[in-house]
Amino acid sequence: GHCYKPFSEPKNWADAENFCTQQHAGGHLVSFQSSEEADFVVKLAFQTFGHSIFWMGLSNVWNQCNWQWSNAAMLRYKAWAEESYCVYFKSTNNKWRSRACRMMAQFVC
């Protein structure tokens, strides 16, 4: 089984993930493997803090690692315009949305 704990102090995504790893061995921002699990966590978050938004452990932070030049050359020079996006859920429903990872939100470990 898993244990879940919502935290009220807003953090950016990276700080929230880092905080979760410090709370418990193997700890991370929450990940959902089923709709039942997601419903349980969303309800827990709502019962704990009411209407809010909460980071979960989904992001595109590492996506750029997968990019490759068409001639198979290593991607050494980078000039990305867009920033990383991370996923949050609202405590009022189980719908996921993304926002810049540098922004603040409450979170569930």
Q: How many CB atoms lie within 10 A of CB 87?
A: 17
- List Cβ neighbours of 35 (8 Å cut-off, separation of 6 or more): 94
Which amino acid, residue 17?
Answer: E
Encode pLDDT of 68-84 as tens digits.
Answer: 676 777 767 766 666 78
pLDDT band at 2 (very low <50, low <70, confident <90, very high): confident
Average pLDDT, the chain: 87
Is residue 101 scored above 80 in pLDDT? yes
Instruction: Report in angstroms the alpha-carbon separations of 61 from 38, 41, 86.
Output: 22, 23, 8
Q: 35-79: per-residue pLDDT in tens?
A: 999 999 999 999 999 999 999 998 877 665 566 676 777 767 766
Q: How far is it, in rounded angstroms, from Cα 46 to Cα 11?
A: 18
Closest CA to 90 of 44, 47, 42: 42
Q: Provide the 3-class DSSP secondary structure of residue 82.
A: coil
Domain 6-61+82-108: which CATH number of 1.10.640.10, 3.10.100.10, 1.20.1730.10, 3.40.50.720: 3.10.100.10
Q: What is the pTM assigned to this prediction? A: 0.80
Contacts 24+ apart (CB under 8 A), 31-35: 31/56, 31/57, 31/58, 32/56, 35/94
